[in-house]
Structure 1
Amino acid sequence: MDARDLVRSVKVIGSARGIRTIRAAWRRHRTDAAGLPRPGAERARVPGLAEEAEPQPGGGVVRFARSSLRVRVAVGGAVFCGWDGAGPEPSYALAGSCPEADPRATLEPDTEGGWRVVSERVTVTVSRQGAVAVRTPGGVVLRRDLPPRWWEPAAADEAQVTPPRWTQRSEVAADARYFGLGGRAAGPRLRDGAYRLWNTDPGGAFGPDDDPLYLTMPVQLVVADAGTHLMFHDNTWDGVVTLREGVEGAGSGHDRPGGCQVRMAGGPLRYWVIAGTPARVLQSWAQLTGAPALPPRWALGYHHARWGFGTEDEVRRVAAGYVERGLPLSALHLDIDHYDGHRVFTVDRARFPDLPKLASDLADDGVRLVSIIDPGVKAEPGNPVYDSGVEADAFVRDARGREVRGEVWPGETAFPDFTDPQARKWWAGLYVERLEQGFAGVWHDMNEPVSFAAFGDPTLPLSARHALEGRGGDHREAHNVYGLTMARAGYEGLCELRPEQRPFLFSRSGWVGMQRYGGTWSGDVTTDWPGVRASLALVLGLGLCGVPYSGPDVGGFTGAPSAELYLRWLQLAAYLPLFRTHAAITAGRREPWEFGPEVLEHATAALRERQRLLPYFLTLAHLAQRTGAPYVRPMWWRWPQDRALRDCEDAFLLGDSLLVAPIFDPGVRRRMVRLPRGRWYDAATGRAHDGPGQAMLEAPLSRVPVLVRAGSVLPVADEQGETELEVWAPIAGRTGGGVLITDTGDGWEEPTVMHFTTRLRGNRVVVEREGPEDIKYVMRVRGDAVGLATP
């Protein structure tokens, strides 16, 4: 029992649930003792020497004395490597089938006795011992993966049930920086250390030092002077990634390369590498794993949530408070307290006597209702959801065929096996109840999955059996994709039940490819200033892993924020994709008027600024779907060779036009901001700052510093909600521009796309446009220019 287990035990002992969690933990322990193979003797294996190679489309297979390696370059330049016969499929990460092989990529002998696959964008060399190097077309090494090592059961019968665990070490440039690995509170730049690949409920509020969290991914984005590349190990098992940054000039003037070690408890050794500019890498990544789902327009506004609204009257009171004060509000979220005894897909009729009427009344004011959905189903005969799940044979079973039981909010629960297509179909049909209650969207919680336990890992037994799309396997392989497959079930159900509208779904847990079904949020972030930093780190890191729509619990989940902390958090979140306040049932209220008149005034400004930027956010959402580019981008996004920007973690880019510099400490009223190259205008004062370099900016309590790139055409909403264009003067002799993408609502209609180019003519701005000629917008000039000129 570790320290966290001890704290958890002390918290729960003495309560009825505490006793049940102790029983659940022991039951899990006994189930695994009976259902998992006992560790036995192992033997280590390395590839040995290369013996021959066979050309295949896109590359070929190199056969070694004790293994084989398949190298395949896909159309577009993504490189697949699979050891021991591993192929790209089946895979939970890929969107549809594997991309076609590049017919121009060829396998040929290497001058050093190995082999190489030559393609237009990358060259892959394989040494005689099994080291794999990915090089730019100019021959610069982006990464070098050393020969892997496997540990497999010595006895043949054990090998049938226990796949070999493996380790692979890699080297990157000494100046390289690591990003990604899913949601990491310590990011966005990942320092030296070990990062576990196991989706985990931390069991309370988390801060920057807590790892792992709810959503881990074996995805690294590596940025160096030589270039940017993404490395994805397509393996859903438990693992650890250990990173070590390099040192330039270490030891007699020689560089020490950066290092990475990936250790997996089982599963295939297969991976993808994508190289190019950050934008090209993320675009190829989206093509490989799926385009991000497009949220409905209203989901880009401000959301208010609380665990503990308690009654319909309280929900109406909060909604009325926003209306009375003229504050923008897009959605209210109901947590588990609106359920009947915490049973999923139910309503407590005593406290919420008419949810459809409540939803209808809120919709009249432009406010949608969003429902929480947990995967745990109360295992109670007579509960319609449970009974229908038993009839559909939808629940996870153990190695002996018995239904796996856990302990969650409603008590003893059963867990759907979302890796079973028939179970997903059954679950998807249950969402009709949510739609009939008037809910416009859903958020999935507790789907790591969590089963409360006084000690040990708070999840299902590792020996629990899963369908895994018909292949069969246990929870060791299925755990990390449980939230992903639940999101798939929910998304497909909403599409079928309400086909005319884009679904709104976000999930606490998931895996690679979850952007296909929606977004995510921070989970239970700690209520303190480090929690603000962790919030930004999570959004940036997830965006670089292909999940562009996310955001934090504004104000933190469990504690009571000071007025200043709440305000600074709200001001940051106003520029993040998912803009939502949320708090635990014990944490008090989060309405802006609860923090005094000064905070209310400044919070109102932040909410209205988000409302003003809705056309820009909608454009970014469409761009994310089309290109894979995240809304929120690190400062180095367009300048990955700028080392100062690679190390900048206290500011970010929102699309191509805005630079946002949040406040992370109390009492700060001015702050230094690192500027990328070009001219940047202070959005509040219009003052110009030229980069690269640094600028000291004012940060009064009323706002955080926001800069606009010179030449930008920024789509915004006027006071009536109509779209207009804010044109910021470009630098003389240079062009700027922007994009506006609009749709007609929350459905699937083809959007309207307009491109703008700006340049100076004298002291006036010329704006040229590409798009429908019959659509006109008001344009307002900002920056160092007098006005507009006719093209």
Structure 2
Amino acid sequence: GVKIDPDYSVYREGITRGAFCRLPDGQVYRGLVWPGWCVFPDFTDPQVREWWGGHYPALVEMGIAGFWHDMNEPTTFAAWGEPTFPRTVRHAMEGRGGDHSEAHNLYGLLMNRAAWEALRRMQPDRRPFLLTRSGWAGVQRYAWNWTGDTESTWAALRRTIAMVIGLGLSGIPYTGPDIGGFSGAPSTELFIRWFQAAAFMPFFRSHAAKGTPRREPWVFGEPALSIIREFLHLRVRLLPYLYTLAWEAAQTGAPLVRPLFWENEKDASLWEMEDAFLLGSALLVAPVVEEGSRRRKVFLPPGEWYHFWNDQRFTGPGSIEVEAPLERIPVFVRAGSILPMAEDGLTLHIYVPSVGEGEGDLYHDEGDGFGPYRVDRFRMKREGNRLQLRWVHEGDLPWPWENFTLCFHGFLPVRVMIDGQESSVQGERLTVCPFQEVWIEGNPSGDLGPRGGP
């Protein structure tokens, strides 16, 4: 809302332009929000959207890089009834007229559209960053989202997973929670477990209601601070993979966070599993959502899976029970994955299958805008003790690393040929420069672990 204040230029302009929503009798509708009594722009009017968007450039010139749209369901404070506009409030509805019963779900969407279009006009070579509490079908074109004002409880942590999965399936891929919940005081254990889960979600931040206890990581002391630091470092290491998934979402609509049934949608046994998720096609994340738990059961979809922390291998489909100490949550990597991570510049972690093929993509651009990019596609094929790795790319952006590392999991190289030239190798890591094809002869490292049970 816009505060009713004759000394506030935005209020004066809006009144002069007739930009605010009105009641059926023609009076400007007023509602109570955080600034006090407010009026509300009618974002269903294209002229109002253009006027509203005109206020962003001054803020951008001050150095503001992104904008957070809150309370835009729209919400008003109410002693009783619905905490929003009366349904009789009138809206332009793109010129044909209508009331709030029709416009309510569109309000947040069109507010974000107004900002996005204004920022694109002002900075055509940059991507606008908007964060919104509300929206409607299509809001992912304009803004990121978060899961709202959740409670600081174990039940809310569990619901967060289902909510992020559901938003992704609804076409909204860029979302995540307030770490620790918004309202309340999370225990040290709850904050750690929430941070660990959120480290694998697109939107990643800590935030809380005014008046709640401070929750910066150092407030919790040790060992919490070291655990949180490790997962923050892991998040940074995963950025090449997350950035590639974000590009994939923009191209295909596939969410970053996916349900376990994503590649097995006909398996009804997976439909109700809401306490674990896939991050892209490579990772399976099983957060700990019960207080005091130091073990948990994890269902593995069909195929071979590597334990992320120790490379133990398992075969799905089926359930396994694994350790979940306070400093770790269960994470698994699908065999056949090539996982790019920001380690020593770039490291490609190659999780070799016992037989067959695998793949992984890496998207890279200049970090903003709509200029040159490149997609690097890595493909592997295993035949006995021989592994073939092929590399092709598309796009005009130059490859940014002179050398990078291949790290093999489940496979110990003993002889390597890079584009027909033999190369030395020590252990499971191989330093390479750009290539077209690598042949590796090697031995399996580690045994295939237990098969999951029912």
TM-score calculated relative to the size of structure 1: 0.51
Report 1:575-654 matches (<5 A).
575-654=200-279
- 1:756 equivalent to 2:378? Answer yes
Match of 1:483 among 108, 118, 121: 108
The one-character-per-residue Cα deviations of 1:530-587 (angstroms, maximum 9, x if unpaired) are: 1101211111101001000000010111111100000000000000000011001111
Rounded to whole Å, the distance in 1 between the matches of 2:272 and 2:157 is 18
Per the alignment, residue 349 of structure 2 pairs with 726
Per the alignment, residue 382 of structure 1 pairs with 7
Report the Cα offset of residue 496 of structure 1.
1.7
Counterpart residue identity of residue 778, structure 1: F
Counterpart residue identity of residue 389, structure 2: V
Per the alignment, residue 457 of structure 1 pairs with 82
Per the alignment, residue 427 of structure 2 pairs with none
For structure 2, the residue ranges without an aligned partner over 5 or more in a row are 418-437, 440-454
Per the alignment, residue 404 of structure 2 pairs with 778
Per the alignment, residue 521 of structure 1 pairs with 146
Rounded to whole Å, the distance in 1 between the matches of 2:381 and 2:271 is 30
Rounded to whole Å, the distance in 2 between the matches of 1:462 and 1:755 is 52
Report the Cα offset of residue 772 of structure 1.
5.5
Rounded to whole Å, the distance in 1 between the matches of 2:158 and 2:371 is 38
Report the Cα offset of residue 697 of structure 1.
1.7
SS of 2:161 mapped into structure 1: helix
SS of 1:575 mapped into structure 2: coil
8 Å Cα contact 2:298-2:320 kept in structure 1:
yes
Counterpart residue identity of residue 358, structure 2: G
- 1:542 equivalent to 2:167? Answer yes
Per the alignment, residue 39 of structure 1 pairs with none
Counterpart residue identity of residue 685, structure 1: N
SS of 1:727 mapped into structure 2: strand
SS of 1:700 mapped into structure 2: coil
Report the Cα offset of residue 778 of structure 1.
2.2
The one-character-per-residue Cα deviations of 1:728-770 (angstroms, maximum 9, x if unpaired) are: 11221x1010111111121111421111111224435321122
- 1:675 equivalent to 2:300? Answer yes
Rounded to whole Å, the distance in 2 between the matches of 1:416 and 1:575 is 37
Rounded to whole Å, the distance in 2 between the matches of 1:724 and 1:745 is 19
8 Å Cα contact 2:179-2:194 kept in structure 1:
yes
Rounded to whole Å, the distance in 2 between the matches of 1:468 and 1:750 is 39
8 Å Cα contact 1:729-1:781 kept in structure 2:
no
8 Å Cα contact 2:341-2:349 kept in structure 1:
yes
The one-character-per-residue Cα deviations of 1:72-103 (angstroms, maximum 9, x if unpaired) are: xxxxxxxxxxxxxxxxxxxxxxxxxxxxxxxx
The one-character-per-residue Cα deviations of 1:283-328 (angstroms, maximum 9, x if unpaired) are: xxxxxxxxxxxxxxxxxxxxxxxxxxxxxxxxxxxxxxxxxxxxxx
Per the alignment, residue 428 of structure 1 pairs with 53
Counterpart residue identity of residue 389, structure 1: G
Per the alignment, residue 448 of structure 2 pairs with none
Report the Cα offset of residue 701 of structure 1.
0.9
* Structure showing greater relative contact order (alpha-carbon pairs closer than 8 Å, 6 or more residues apart): 1
8 Å Cα contact 2:162-2:275 kept in structure 1:
no
The one-character-per-residue Cα deviations of 1:441-491 (angstroms, maximum 9, x if unpaired) are: 111100111111111111112111101111110101001110000110111
**Aligned-residue CA RMSD (Å):** 1.5
Match of 1:699 among 312, 319, 324: 324
Per the alignment, residue 389 of structure 2 pairs with 767
Report the Cα offset of residue 715 of structure 1.
1.0
Rounded to whole Å, the distance in 2 between the matches of 1:673 and 1:437 is 49
8 Å Cα contact 1:378-1:414 kept in structure 2:
yes
How much identity, in percent, do the aligned residues show? 49
The one-character-per-residue Cα deviations of 1:257-296 (angstroms, maximum 9, x if unpaired) are: xxxxxxxxxxxxxxxxxxxxxxxxxxxxxxxxxxxxxxxx
8 Å Cα contact 1:526-1:557 kept in structure 2:
yes
Report the Cα offset of residue 628 of structure 1.
0.4
> 1:416–1:493: structure 2 CA closer, same or farther, 3 Å change rule?
same
Rounded to whole Å, the distance in 2 between the matches of 1:496 and 1:681 is 47
Report the Cα offset of residue 440 of structure 1.
0.9
8 Å Cα contact 2:177-2:198 kept in structure 1:
yes
Report the Cα offset of residue 499 of structure 1.
2.3
8 Å Cα contact 1:505-1:517 kept in structure 2:
yes
Rounded to whole Å, the distance in 1 between the matches of 2:346 and 2:247 is 16
Report the Cα offset of residue 699 of structure 1.
1.1
Rounded to whole Å, the distance in 1 between the matches of 2:164 and 2:207 is 16
The one-character-per-residue Cα deviations of 1:49-70 (angstroms, maximum 9, x if unpaired) are: xxxxxxxxxxxxxxxxxxxxxx
Report 1:389-408 matches (<5 A).
389-408=14-33
For structure 1, the residue ranges without an aligned partner over 5 or more in a row are 1-375
SS of 2:94 mapped into structure 1: helix
8 Å Cα contact 1:686-1:782 kept in structure 2:
no
SS of 2:55 mapped into structure 1: helix
Rounded to whole Å, the distance in 2 between the matches of 1:694 and 1:759 is 28
Report the Cα offset of residue 693 of structure 1.
0.9
Counterpart residue identity of residue 272, structure 2: D
8 Å Cα contact 2:130-2:142 kept in structure 1:
yes
SS of 1:771 mapped into structure 2: strand
SS of 2:288 mapped into structure 1: coil
Rounded to whole Å, the distance in 2 between the matches of 1:780 and 1:695 is 30
Rounded to whole Å, the distance in 1 between the matches of 2:59 and 2:224 is 35
The structure with the largest alpha-carbon Rg is 1
TM-score calculated relative to the size of structure 2: 0.88
Bigger drift between 539-548 and 486-495 goes to: 486-495
8 Å Cα contact 2:347-2:407 kept in structure 1:
no
Rounded to whole Å, the distance in 1 between the matches of 2:244 and 2:129 is 17
Report the Cα offset of residue 588 of structure 1.
1.9
Counterpart residue identity of residue 363, structure 2: I
The one-character-per-residue Cα deviations of 1:678-704 (angstroms, maximum 9, x if unpaired) are: 100001100000111112222111111
8 Å Cα contact 1:758-1:767 kept in structure 2:
yes
Counterpart residue identity of residue 612, structure 1: R
Rounded to whole Å, the distance in 1 between the matches of 2:394 and 2:120 is 30
Per the alignment, residue 738 of structure 1 pairs with 360
